[in-house]
Amino acid sequence: MIAKYHTFGCKLNFAETSTIAEMMADKGIRRANHGEYPDFVVVNSCSVTAEADKKCRQWIRSCHRRYPDARIIVTGCYAQLQPEQIAQIEGVDYVLGQNEKYSITQLVNELCDSLEDGVPPTGRPTGYSLEAQKIRVANIREVEEFHGVHSGDDRTRCFIKVQDGCNYFCTYCTIPFARGKSRNPRIEEVIKDAQSALDQGAKELIITGVNIGDFGRSTGENFIDLLRAFDRLKGDYRVRISSCEPNLLTDEIIDFVANSNHFAPHFHIPLQSGSNEVLAIMKRRYTRELFAERVQHIRKVMPHAFIGVDCMVGVRGETQDCWEDYLTFIKGLDVSQLHVFTYSERANTRMLEMDLYVVPKAERQRRSKILHEVSEDKTKDFYAQHAGRKSIVLWESKKEGDQMSGFTDNYIKVYGPYKKEKINTFEEIVL
């Protein structure tokens, strides 16, 4: 049996897909090679925007046309939020919720048994009734389990999931409805997985989750102790922290990273808006002044650090005055790159119930374009500031013509002549 996998959305989704593929491989179902016809197609969906939903639907339809005999299984955030909608797409056989995705091998065993019993994979009627479909989606608010995952496709970098869910309920966001409440494993369990990844050859570990700074909520531990445990692992490696809320990214954490043996000077911090008025509408748990303080402290103790920032534009309530205030603030921030999102109305979010100014879609796109241009300027400046500086690069396996690439500790992408023996090794270079 052969399976094909397709992932939409965040790095956490990619790590979860990698784990699902490993679970399937343990049952004798290998990943499809290029050009092979799969028996199963597993789609891990995203639902952060309406566009993400649309892309997922389009891909499923295209996949069904290309592989009409394959069994299509859809999971992820979109599957959790809109299972009936996905079930109605022609070709979809099963819809699995966020918790149910980890029992996929049981489902596949059932399907394999049906095939062995002579049930043909072809000839499924157009427009299944929901009764004929298999929708396995539990109430995510009742889920207590934590399923640890890691990405194993690239031996250079490995994403380690340390936390899932979110208790914040920001007014624009569906993540708490798609991922459930904040939960995590014990530190010792995370470290066991991390050490295993290093023992298998990984050189870079990325700590990931939905709201990683909230680590410890379900075990009575805390995030800084988790970081200290990562710093005590055995091997030649480095660690990156993925996105961390500014109210949870304390000076203690920043100082620890600055003085650690293994943590990279690299931060990704969600801002979402540079207007305090809009941050209040969003129900974010910080002000722009606190955000600026975090950036200033990073620059004080790690001047060369990479700082990426999540920015959303066009949310309800973002008047022209708020937008201009936001733009002025973001231009003045000493950060390295912006990750820009255009606001998309999501069903069942509180923002839709609020009487607020609605930014026209054309204006949303215009503001997004402006922030993308600001981001390009900041990244160019960041790169220019580090020209001539010595840095450590971790070379990756991808070959681009006669070149190979890698990233420095502060996330500057560099290129060099392709040499196979350099793959997954550290090297000091001059930028």
pLDDT in single tens digits along all 431 residues of the chain? 899 999 998 889 988 999 999 989 988 999 999 889 999 999 999 998 889 999 999 999 999 999 999 999 999 999 999 999 999 999 999 999 998 988 888 888 776 665 544 444 443 433 333 444 588 888 887 787 888 777 765 668 899 999 999 999 999 999 999 999 999 999 999 999 999 999 999 999 999 999 999 999 999 999 999 999 999 999 999 999 999 999 999 999 999 999 999 999 999 999 999 999 999 999 999 999 999 999 999 999 999 999 999 999 999 999 999 999 999 999 999 999 999 999 999 999 999 999 999 999 999 999 999 999 999 999 999 999 999 999 999 999 988 899 999 999 999 999 999 999 999 999 999 99
Q: What local confidence, expressed as pLDDT, does residue 133 receive?
A: 53
Q: Using DSSP, state whether 345 is helix, strand or coil.
A: coil
Domain spans, the chain: 2-138, 143-264, 390-430
Question: Token pair of 157, please?
Answer: 């970098």
Overall pTM > 0.75:
yes
Residue 102, amino acid: Y
Environment class of 6 (CB within 10 Å of its CB; exposed 0-12, middle 13-18, buried 19+)? middle
Confidence at residue 365, expressed as pLDDT on a 0 to 100 scale: 97
The Cα–Cα gap between 244 and 224 comes to 12
Amino acid 119: pLDDT: 41
Write the CB contacts of 315 (distance below 8 Å, at least 6 apart in sequence).
172, 273, 278, 281, 282, 343, 351, 359
Report pLDDT for 144.
77
Across the strands, what pairs with 426?
A: 394
Helices in 38-103 by DSSP H: which ranges?
Answer: 50-66, 77-81, 83-87
Q: What is the CATH number of domain 143-264?
A: 3.30.750.210
CATH 3.40.50.2300 applies to domain 2-138 = yes
pLDDT at res. 114: 57
